[in-house]
Amino acid sequence: MNWQTRGRILRFVMALAACVACGLANHAPAADGPAKIRMGTLAPKGSSYFKHLQAMGEQWRQAPGGGATLIIYPDGTMGSEADMVRRMRLGQLQAGMLTVVGLTEIEPAVTGLQNMPMMFRTLDEVDFIGEKLEPMLEKRLAEKGFVVLGWCDTGWVRFFSKRPVIHPDDLRKAKLFVWAGNPADVDVYRSLGCNPVPLETVDILPNLETGLIDAVALPPTIALAGQMYNVAPNMIELNWAPLVAAAVITKKAWDAIPPETQAAMRKSAAEAVSLIKQDGRRESVESVEAMQKRGLKAQPISPELFAEWLHEVEPAYPKIRGTIVPADIFDEVVAQLKAYRATQEAKKK
């Protein structure tokens, strides 16, 4: 697998694609035929995510009211997710499958679904907070000119490293990859005593090999696809944060589609993102198992070790609140999780 291919795979989940120049003319849906919906995504062509979007597109084509023609631009060919949002605003794209990185370009409140390390302890909690926040987030996104067709996630992000990272002090000794262009993230890691190294996503693997960095937070599926385990053969089973995404379409393009077509499109989009979530979570577990067979050393998390990490991470929450995650959203997530956990504990009694 060459560097370019690995880079495309990495760009999808980390949502930090290198900007690709691609000049499209400004297109609007055709007035005398099926609506043409151009969708940008960092999903690699041939991945399960891409295949589900293709299946969705076929259902859109057959939708009542004239249907819609979905044209998918995978592999980050439309540039980074920030580029895709800009293209949607210009009318060059009408839709996107975006992670929180891209969605934040539209509405910062979406960070509450992802950018709070160790805030979520189970995927059930991720689902619960999604159910609570998504209606409000959809309303805010609509006010910014975007319609959400469905939400999904691909499981947990975990630390992969050259040397074993077991305790927080081990991470502090590492040279940790962080995304270039996110100074707030750099500041938070530095406040925790870590050594963040801002880089572009395509630079992760070569710089792991050169030693510029020796630790990185990635979903296991990407660590497997990019063969990260060959140079960073240690993983701690710490559920750092989920990776959340959504399929969105511009309100301008959506409003030009007949209501009966919209209903069918919503239904098939909901089915597609549900399958993406199911596959993403399953593939995450399967990827760890596959890497372990190839030499990956996975460090389990005991309750004591979890408590040690949480004790070190919690001091960063006041720095995240109001800078990375809007204060009202941060407070809402904390309150909702507290109520949810109390309910779950009561059920056990």
User: Following DSSP, what letter does each residue of 64-92 receive, concatenated?
Assistant: STT-EEEEEE-TTTT-SHHHHHHHHHHTS
Contact call for residues 213 and 141 (beta carbons, < 8 A): no
pLDDT at 6 exceeding the cut of 80: no
For residue 164 the two structure tokens come to 């074993």
Q: Are strands 234-250 and 146-161 parallel, antiparallel or unpaired?
A: antiparallel
- For 89-138, write each residue's pLDDT tens digit: 999 999 999 999 899 999 999 999 999 999 999 999 999 999 999 999 99
**Percent of the chain's residues with pLDDT above 90:** 76
> Environment class of residue 315 by beta-carbon count within 10 Å: exposed (0-12), middle (13-18) or buried (19+)?
exposed
pTM for the model stands at: 0.87
Q: Closest Cα partner for 57 from 37, 30, 42, 77?
A: 37
Q: Give the per-residue pLDDT at 232.
A: 97
Q: What local confidence, expressed as pLDDT, does residue 146 receive?
A: 98
What fold is seen in the domain 7-318? D-Maltodextrin-Binding Protein; domain 2 (3.40.190)
pLDDT of residue 213: 97
pLDDT of 247 above 70: yes
Statement: residue 166 has pLDDT above 60? yes
**Across residues 154-183, what is the average pLDDT?**
92
Cα 249 to Cα 149: distance, rounded to the nearest angstrom: 7
The segment with the largest mean pLDDT, out of 40-54, 122-136, 168-182, is 122-136
**Sequence spans of domains, the chain:** 7-318
pLDDT for 208-240, tens place per residue? 999 999 999 989 988 898 889 999 999 999 999
Q: Is residue 165 pLDDT above 60, yes or no?
A: yes
Q: How far apart are CA 85 and CA 104, in angstroms?
A: 10
- pLDDT value of position 222: 84
Return the pLDDT at 200. Answer: 74
For residues 231 and 4, the model is more confident at 231
pLDDT band at 16 (very low <50, low <70, confident <90, very high): very low
- Paired tokens of 34: 């099926």
Mean pLDDT of all residues in 181-190: 82
Q: Which range is least confidently modeled, 23-27, 28-32, 147-151, 262-266?
A: 23-27
Task: Give the residue among 157, 130, 103, 188 at the shortest CA–CA distance from 332.
Answer: 130
32 falls in which pLDDT band (50, 70, 90)?
A: low
Whether 330 and 322 have beta carbons less than 8 Å apart is answered as yes
Q: Report the chain's mean pLDDT, rounded to a whole number.
A: 89
